Amino acid sequence: MSRVVRRSSLALACAASLVSCAKPDAAGNGARAADSTAAVTATSGGTAPAPRATPAMTDANILAVLDQAHAADSAAGAIAAARGVNEDVNVYGRRMMRDHHALRVAGEALATTLNISPVLPAGDDAGARAAALVDSLTAMPRGPAWDGFFLDHAVMHHEEVLAAAQAGAGATQHAELRAMIEKVAPILQRHLDRAKLLRSNMQ
């Protein structure tokens, strides 16, 4: 289980990004990039920076961090759809891939409407952690242990992204972004509930 917690620290990085930040320094990728390969373009390694008492996230940061979280879940879902041995895991992976891609497209459209260029906070390493997770998911042998590892990550990540989304809703300066987050939250909750149920059924 320690390995799962280590690998799943991507979720902590996503949540930490929405409750603390420094100056933004990198533009977020567009939602129309291939989600199944989005995570593997980052360099793996490193550890999450300690939380700092810094200014609240900008709307550009919120859009970028949520987009990166959706990209990571879409990429992980694509792998689960192909490598899961439990049919329910395959179906869940396809749902993640479909839903999170749609959420990325919606986020990109809103950014265009609001004339905001998504920008990741300085020091954000969630992309690197997503790449490390992809490495683990592709290196592990297929089997029940693989399915369990994937579902453990899905539970932790959706818990953290839900918390991050709620923080973003409180920090945003735009009612439209707050409304989008409020629509996203129930989808994330359904993903979380389904992952918990599947994991429980495997034990």
Angle between helices 144-171 and 9-19 (to 10 degrees): 0
Placement of tokens 């905001």 in the chain = 116
Q: Given this model, what pLDDT does residue 26 score?
A: 37
Q: Given this model, what pLDDT does residue 129 score?
A: 87
Strand partners, 120: 26
Q: Given this model, what pLDDT does residue 107 score?
A: 95
Q: Which of 203, 37, 50 is nearest to 131 (CA)?
A: 37
Full pLDDT tens readout for the chain, 203 residues: 434 333 344 443 444 444 444 333 333 444 444 444 444 333 344 444 443 434 578 999 999 989 999 999 999 999 999 999 999 999 999 999 999 999 999 999 999 999 999 998 888 888 888 899 999 999 999 999 999 999 999 999 999 899 889 999 999 989 999 999 999 999 999 999 999 999 999 87
CA–CA separation, 191 vs 3, rounded Å? 22
Joined together, the tokens standing for residue 20 give 């603390």
